[in-house]
Amino acid sequence: MPQIAQLAETFSSQIFWLLVFFGIVFFVVGRGMVPKVMGTVAQRDSQIGSDLAAAEAARAQADEEEEAWRKRENENRAAAQALVAKAKADAAASSEKKLAAAQKRLDKKLADAEAAVAAARTSALAEIEGVAAEAAQDIVQRLAGVSVTAASAKKAVKEAMSNG
């Protein structure tokens, strides 16, 4: 076993070179490079962490904005609906008023027309009475040779008409 057979002659060189090379590994690689590698990892981790936090914050803000937008939208919708309802009510009121005015006008026209018709009838009736009285006077004169006064003829006609 060379490990034992050569122990006396090689142990010092083994120890010396191991300390030299392990020392180089420890100070150059372990102390020099490893912290930098780990620093890179830590930096990446913190970068990822902050990116995630930023994304989370952006999401929260988007949610907030959506909420605000929804609220505004709801308000706008309510306002629009109120406006529509008011316009509807106004329109209904004004059309009612117009209808009432038109109705009134029509009623007045009807009343006027009725009055005119009544007047025409009365005048017509009076004319018919007059004509009938004259006719009755004539007829009586011609048939009975009696001359009646216009007044009595009129009276008789009126009686006959109201009876007949």
Partner 1 sequence: MAAEPAKVDPMYQFTIEPLFGSENWEIAGFNIAFTNSAMWMLITTVVLGIFVWGGMKRELVPGRWQMAVETFTGFVENMLEANIGEAGRKYVPYVFSLFMFILFANLLGLLPLGIVGLHPFTFTSHFTVTGILAAISFSIVLIVGFWKHGFHFFSLFVPHGTPLPMIPAIFLIELVSFAVRPFSLALRLFVAMMAGHVLLEVLSSFVIDGTNAGAHFGLLVGLPSFLLMIGICALEILVAGIQAYVFALLTSLYINDAENLH
Spatial distance between the Cα atoms of 38 and 57, rounded to a whole number of angstroms: 28
Crossing angle of the two packed helices 150-163 and 34-144, in degrees rounded to 10: 130
d(CA 150, CA 157): 10
Residue 163 binding partner 1, by CB under 8 A: no
Nearer to partner 1, 7 or 102 (CB): 7
Candidate ranges 39-47, 64-72, 145-153, 156-164; the one touching partner 1 (CB under 8 A): 39-47
85 contributes a contact to partner 1 by CB under 8 A: no
Q: Pick the closer one to partner 1 by CB: 39 or 139.
A: 39
Which positions from 41 through 80 interact with partner 1, judged by CB under 8 A? 41, 43-44, 47
Which amino acid type is present at position 50? S
CA dihedral 122, 128, 129, 132 (to 10 degrees): -170
Using the rule CB under 8 A, is 12 a contact of partner 1? yes
144 binds partner 1 (CB under 8 A): no
Using the rule CB under 8 A, is 28 a contact of partner 1? Answer: yes
Decide if 6 contacts 13 (C-beta within 8 A): no
d(CA 126, CA 120): 10
The only residue of 40, 50, 103, 152 in contact with partner 1, by rule CB under 8 A = 40
CA 83 to centroid of chain Cα atoms? 7
Residue 19 is a binding residue for partner 1 (CB under 8 A): yes
Return residues touching partner 1 (CB under 8 A): 1-3, 6-7, 9-22, 24-26, 28-31, 33-41, 43-44, 47
